[in-house]
Structure 1
Amino acid sequence: MNPAALFDVTGRVALVTGSTRGIGLALATGLVRAGATVVVNGRDPVVAGEVAARLSDHGPGRAVGRAFDVTDPVAVEEAVAGLEADGFALEVLVNNTGMQQRAPFTEFSDADWSRMLEVNLSSAFYVARSVARRMQDRGRGKIVNVLSVQSEVVRPGIAPYSATKGGLKMLTKGMCADLAGSGIQVNAIGPGYFATELTAALVADEEFSRWVESRTPAGRWGQVEDLVGALLFFSSDASAFVNGQVLHVDGGMLAVL
């Protein structure tokens, strides 16, 4: 076999949650440029449709927009069933939806804690459960969860965020245990500090940026395009015997003290 063919995702159908901006948009763009058909997901149907139309111009793959609330299990099941009925048999799921909120541990409210659990952890459970049921029937599939270096380490003010990302790491491993026998590979990507519109204030903070650059052996913030290679590996046949693993794309941050 041509080794390059192992990484080919041409024609594969992928759902990327939370893909109208930031890391999710970059991942969706990478898949479309690699030839996949991508379902762009967000809350706003107009925005999801507009993003999908722009991505389709990048080719050779194509994109469609589907808006649904990934924190609502009923909405998730209806959306996944609708995609399947419309001919989009999902072969790749990227659970990317997430949020960050910073506050001292003792000042974090009940409502904010519940919301973070819903967005960062429960949503991945709901979407993966629905999609995996269909993948099991077909005997194959790829599920990729987007974690963070903060599933392993933590800074002051983000204890709830790290707890949800740590939970998603263990959900990845648990899903592997349950689904690997059905021909489904479940793995995760752990981004380090990445420059996106959501982290613009941190990037602009000179002191914090100096800390990130000094703490990262690569000496820079990650760019969203740095994540695409890891996603293509996990989405393709190249990872056919890789399951339950986390690939940290962090410029070496976790490798050093």
Structure 2
Amino acid sequence: MDFAQLATFQAVIESGSFDAAARELHVTPSAVSQRIKALERSVGQVLVRRTKPCVPTPAGEALVRFAGQVALLEREAIGQARGGTRVSIVVNADSLHTWFLPALAAVPGPQYELHTNDEYYTADLLRSGTAMAAVTADDTAVQGCRIERLGALRYLAVGRPDDTAMILYDRRDRLQHRFMETDESDLPIHYVPSASGFIEAIRMGLGWGMVPDWIARADIAAGRYVDLHPGRHLDVPLYWQYWRIGSEVLDELTAAVKAAAAPYLR
């Protein structure tokens, strides 16, 4: 496969247009178009939907991952000589807020690009090729990825006894509903899309929600709120999925992630 064509395809998908890719690659838009057409001829499939922004077709999605993997190995090889490899990771907000960042600090060489999403949706960014690794609740390995179990993040339902509202991170957040074992709730809902803001909203009495147990227990001991259901908890199993490409950086990061997670996950 022609690597110039592959790099051009990746630039089109990441930038969203042929013109933007041309500026990034310092070539003409015509050259970008010719490379994409040549790549599509060699694969025998249409790979790019010419929309605004450009997006990969179903056939192109697998190639997005492949192009990203090739680019990572290339950057890693160059980085060993010059310094600097970019690694894109998607992680759920609670892990990012609590135990995850020390793993990055333990592997300081790369340039990290972090994305956040609900743990039940983080693997979607692996499938699309946007992320090279993910902290996810999905226990099914994405094609071309390795998967390792990290442990379970335990949550407690906390708030004030008279709380009449429920706090959610965003509209994808179903953690509180899973704890209540229902898909519906007649309680008012506040959406607070920040891990620290979510916890602070509960401390201020805005409503109740699910909080990682080691944070919750410290707050309960300090009298900031109470355990609304003593003896009950919700465990969310978390996994580390990453591209299976023989990358030294990803291997080092995997070891650091497992070490950082161990004291916090059950």
Normalising by structure 2, report the TM-score.
Answer: 0.28
Greater share of residues in helix:
1
Normalising by structure 1, report the TM-score.
Answer: 0.29
Greater share of residues in strand:
2
* Structure of higher CA gyration radius: 2
